[in-house]
Structure formats: structure tokens, C-alpha cells
Amino acid sequence: MLNYTRTFEVKQLSVPVSQAADLKKFYRIIASDERNTAVLKPQN
Amino acid sequence: MTNRWSYNRAGLRPVTEKILRRFTLLFAALVCPLLPLPAQAGDAPPWMHALVNAPLPAHDEKTNAVLLYAEENVNVISADKIKTTVRRAYKVLRPEGHDDYGIVFVPFRSPGEKVNSMRAWCIPAQGKDYEVKDKEAIEASLPKVEGSELVSDLRIKLLQIPAPDPGNIVGYEYEVEEQPIVLQEGWSFQQDIPVRESHYSLQLPSGWEYKAAFLNYADVKPVQAGNNLWQWTVSDVKGLREEREMPPMQGLLGQMIVSLFPPGGPGAKGFSNWHDMGSWYLNLESGRADASPDIKQKVASLTASAPATLDKMKAIASFVQDDIRYVAIELGIGGWQPHPAADIFGHRYGDCKDKATLTSSMLRQIGVNSYQVAINTERGSILPQTPAYLGFNHEILAIQLPKDVSSPSLIATLDDPKLGKILFFDPTDELTPFGQIRGALQANYGLLITPDGGELVELPSQAPSMNSIQRTAKLTLDTRGNLQGQVEEVRLGDRAAVERFRLRTVSNDKDRIKPIENLLAGSLSNFQITQASIQNLAYPDRPFGFTYSFVAINYAKTAGNLLLVRPRVLGAKGDGVLETKEPRQFPHRI
């Protein structure tokens, strides 16, 4: 059985320009996770 | 939900001008092909020719046009008459500038205001000048769009300029005569394109005074150019290009607001600070919330079976939200002044300020006081440092909670030093439960209007959990990679409201599941919905729910006896909004 859980919570209404790079990195991490695959092997 | 809070003829707010321009372009695209081609004769005036070799302001390769020259001369003749002449000249740089800068439009209210003259020219890069005159202009009412006024006295006069092509200079001048409702003018000198130079002059009658305040720009001192005549100039003003998820332009673009004061003060026509603006508005609404016998009777019948004050309040709130249709009829001062409560109740329609007025009238019958709050639904348009001006576009209510009214459901509250605990309520928003306010209003600044005058207050925020999607799925994968799933979604806050709004006119089941189809289509290439249902569609005070089952063929890829599966089955939160070549210029709104 595969359990997949994620939570996305917005804690501030606006991200300043100085943190734009961090936000971009964060969105990339999310996008990467969303594309990830798992390999399932039958139990023999 | 627009009311005329943001309209001011000469100082039409840039964001309103942009919206107006889009409607005008659409309108012109439909109408202009039917008009005779404009005459092509006549030299452009010397002030335009002087710009032919003028150096361009700094710009990049994506700039569609630059504003070479702008001049606005405001001549205050009396408290009831202001004449403004405007000149502008653009150089079009890219084909994309053709539509935006090939039409000049002037909004005005009719009756009361008029465009006395209007002419435009094109100085092409090669060849003779073109000219179009007044007789080639057309006048029209603005097209109706959802949420705007049904009846309005706002009209536009528009003129199509020939050959607004790259390399050409297009310009125009016009004179408009205004009958001001409020003695306040605006100079919107910053745009989405670079501005080379912009001039503003103000001529006042003897004995008059003015107060100028700059928004989003360093103060510029005027030059006194004559008797009661002042001039301001700015040059090389950077263009603010739109970015996705940026704060509202109204809160960013540089502008000057000029409040005008005749001898003896502005009286009923003006204000110089938020406190006085509150008093100005109070004067407008005086007597409007008086309850007629029919209103009193309705309140009695609505609240007869309500045991407690809070239940009575909810019954009244529900009536105004559900039984008073949103229709805006705004003529003249009607853009700011509510209709009488008796008329709103009798006709069963009104705009946001009308609904707030009727709610206030009805609440008063059960001994509950409430106060109007003017607000701009674009958070960030009005900030604590914003000088007092008509930058609001919506109106809600602040209900003074009686001491015996207390409930954990009353979230959108604020402790006011004079009024005690107040609850913010939007009578036009039937999709948000009583006791809460929608996201756009939270952490936003509104003008609380009380008998003591106006006060800019920050509306409360609600916890993130109150605006959420919770999605739980049980998914089964077979050995061939086919996926079966049962999903339950619970939505709260704006997440629920947006689905209710989307489904509000849908009556057949096939269309009701479209939101679910769209969600699945965003994540699955090959699926079939086998069962779907919606919970609490008609009950905004309860969580909104989707429950559905689906089958996705070949979801997992087989590789020998292995299965390659993407664990993230539904929903996408990754966003490429910041994946641009250019560095981010503005904060990113989440």
C-alpha cells in the first residue's frame, strides 16, 4: 500500500521581491514532486 | 460589484482607465469597421512636430509604445464647472501598440458634462500627416458587463487615429467640461509604458485653495506660473509593466490627487482627509436608511420566530442577500449616494451601497446599529499612507455587535475603541456565511463611516483553514496499471464560494460535474467518472463537497513485472508564474 499525503498552506498574502527566488525554488520542488514516480514490484 | 466610488472624470484612475480601454477596444472593433474611413488631411500641430526627433525615454524590446508628451490643464471656473484640456503624443514602437494607441477615448457623464472638442493626428515616419476631427468621433454608452452598472450616465467619445504603426507618432487633444460632484481632481502621470514628460497645470479662481498629495511617487513641487496658476512637471517616468499575481496597479502607479477648496471650504462637495471624507459621505446618506412601514413590517415577520438577536440579524442578512437583486443604477451623485431604503425595499433591487443601506435600516428596527464601510475589492489599492480620495469600488457594513451577541461563528470582527466589537458583513455576497468575509476583503483597508467621521481600518484576516480544500482519495491499482478511485473533497471559504458561483445557474447533472471533469483532466489523460455528487450546494453556511468515483485506464506504466506509478494522482500546486527571463519587479500575491 502506498500512502501519499501533502499539505499546502498559505501563511502570508504576499511574497516580497526579495523572496521571489525562494518562492520559485519552492514551486520547482513542488512541481518535481508532482512528477515523481514510484516503482511497484509484486511481492512473490 | 462596481459602484462609482472609483470614478472621477479628469482623474480617472489608471486601473479604471485600463478597463475602460479594453472595453473601448472591443467596442471599437465591432463598430469602427462600419464607420466611414476618417479623412486624411491636415498637418499635425507644432507641439507634436516638436517631438519628432525627441529622444525616447528608456525602454526595452517589449515596449509597445512610449508616451512622449502629456499635458493636462485644469481650469476651475466654479464649484460646478471645470474645463480640462488634454494633449498626448505617443510613439508606437511595436505592432502590438497599434490597437492600444490607435484610439483615443474620453469618458464623461451625460447630462452634465461634454467633450467640447476632440482632434487627433498621426505623424508617420514617412509621408504626410493625417488628421481626424470631431465629426469623425462617435459617442456611445459603455457595454454592459457582469457586475457593472445596468444604468449609468457614463458615456465615451472615441476617435480612431489613422496609421498607429511602429515608427509613427500619434497624438490628440481634447477639451472636456465637467460638472464636478466632488471637488477633487487627479493627475495619472505614470502608466504601463515609459513617459518622457508629463505636465499638469491648475488654474483656480481667486480665493480658492488646493491640497496636492502624491501616491506612490516622491512629492513634486509646483511652479507658480501666474495668478492662482500652478504647474507640475515630471519626466522620464518608468512604465510599470504587468506581471502575473502582482498587487493592483492602483496601489502602485504614481498619481497626484488634488483636493480643491473654495472660499468657506468645500461644503458638501469635498474633503481633505479620511475623517472629512467620512463626514462627506454621511451627508450623502443622511435619511436614506429611514425605515418605511413596509420595511418595519418585513423585519417583524422575518424575526418573529427568531429566538435570539443573532438569529434575527441572520434572518435580515439573508433576506437582503437573497431577496434584493444586485442591480446598479448610478446617475450623477448616484455613483456615491445610496437610494432610500424604502425604494430599495419596494423595488427589490439595489447595488452594494443600496444593500448596505437597507440592511442597516432593517437592523436598526431590532436595535442593532451598523455603519457603512467603503472598500476597494483589490487589496493593496488603499493603504494606510494613501491620501483621502475616491479610490473605493465597493461598500459593506460594520455591524456594532450588541453585548448579548456572541458566537464562535462570528469571525470577521474587530474591536473598535469607540464602537466596541464590530462585525463586517457584505450584503452582496450570499456565498460567504454570515460571520465571515471573503478573501478579497480580509486584511484590506476600508473607510469606516460613523457619525464622528471616517476612519481607515484594517479588516480582519481569517485562519487559512477556513479557506481550504481537503481532498481524500482511496485508490486501487490493478496489475495492468488501471486505477480506480473514490474521492471526497471538502471545501471551505472562497474555495467553496467559487464552486457555488460556478454552479449557480447550472441545472442539469451533466453540467454539474464539469468542475470535477476539469480537475481530473488536469491530472489524468484517460479517465471516466463513474459516480459524482455535490454536497451543500445551496447552503453557504455548510462545507461544500464533491464526492466522486473514477476509473483511469493505463494510469501506471508497466515495465516487465514492475509498475511505474505517479503517487500524486490529482491536483497540481506547482506554478510556473515565476519562470520568466526578467527578474520579478513586484511582490507576488498568493
For residue B4, the model assigns a pLDDT of: 34
Structure pTM?
0.90
Tell me whether residues A34 and B573 touch, CB distance under 8 A.
yes
Q: Are B131 and B41 in contact (CB under 8 A)?
A: yes
Taking residue B231's Cβ as centre, other Cβ atoms within 10 Å add up to: 16
Nearest to B589 among A14, A34, A41 (CB): A14
B214 to B67, B178, B233, B381, B383: CA distances (angstroms): 20, 23, 13, 14, 13
* Count, residues in chain B: 590
Nearest CA in chain B to A12: B590
pLDDT of residue B507: 83
DSSP 3-state of B155: strand
pLDDT in tens, chain B (590 residues): 333 332 333 333 333 455 566 666 666 666 555 555 554 667 899 999 999 999 999 999 999 999 999 999 999 999 999 999 999 999 999 999 998 899 998 988 888 899 999 999 999 999 899 999 998 999 888 765 555 566 677 888 999 999 999 999 999 999 999 998 889 999 999 999 999 999 999 999 999 999 999 999 999 999 999 999 999 999 999 999 999 999 999 999 999 999 999 998 777 788 889 999 999 999 999 999 999 999 999 999 999 999 899 999 999 999 999 999 998 777 777 778 999 999 999 999 999 999 999 999 999 999 999 999 999 999 999 999 898 988 899 999 999 999 999 999 999 999 999 999 999 999 999 999 999 999 999 999 999 999 999 999 999 999 999 999 999 999 999 989 999 999 999 999 999 999 999 998 888 878 888 999 999 999 999 999 999 999 999 999 999 999 999 999 999 999 888 999 999 999 888 888 889 888 999 999 98
Give B277-334 as a DSSP string: HHHHHHHHHTTTTPPPHHHHHHHHHHHTT--SHHHHHHHHHHHHHHHSEE--EE-GGG
Min CA distance, A28 vs chain B (Å)? 7
Shortest CA distance from A38: residue in chain B = B565
Instruction: Give per-residue pLDDT as tens, A6-24.
Output: 999 998 889 999 999 999 9
Which residue stretches of B379-525 are H helix? 494-502, 509-512, 514-521
Q: Which helix (H) or strand (E) holds B226?
A: strand B223-226
What's the N-to-C CA distance of chain A in angstroms?
15
How large is the ipTM? 0.93
Asked if A40 and B577 come within 8 Å (Cβ–Cβ), the reply is no
Query: B430: which DSSP letter?
Result: T
CB spacing of B577 vs A15 below 8 angstroms: no
Helix (H, G, I), strand (E, B) or coil at B198: strand
Report chain B residues whose CB lies below 8 A from the CB of A6. 568
Check CB contact under 8 Å for A27 and B564. no
> For A34, which of B247, B572, B578 is closest by C-beta distance?
B572
List the single residue in B with minimal CA-CA distance to A9: B464
pLDDT score for B17: 54
B545: which DSSP letter?
Answer: E
Q: Which of B561, B563, B590 sits opposite A13 (nearest CB)?
A: B590
State whether B578 and A36 contact (CB < 8 Å): no
Q: Which of A2, A27, A38 sits opposite B575 (nearest CB)?
A: A27
Q: Chain B residues contacting A, CB < 8 Å?
A: 247, 379-380, 443, 461, 464, 477, 479, 556, 561-569, 572-579, 583-590
- Interface list for chain A against chain B, based on CB atoms closer than 8 Å: 2, 4, 6, 8-17, 20, 23-24, 27-28, 30-42
Q: Which residues contact B146 (CB under 8 A, 6 or more apart)?
A: none
Best to test chain B binding among A1, A6, A14, A43 (most B CBs inside 10 Å): A14
> Out of B568, B569, B588, whose CB is closest to A15?
B588
CB contact under 8 A, A40 and B556: yes
- The reported pLDDT for the residue numbered B23 is 62
Chain A: residue nearest B443 by CA?
A: A13
Instruction: Give the H or E element holding residue B24.
Output: helix B14-31
Between chains, do B584 and A20 touch, taking CB under 8 Å as contact? Answer: yes
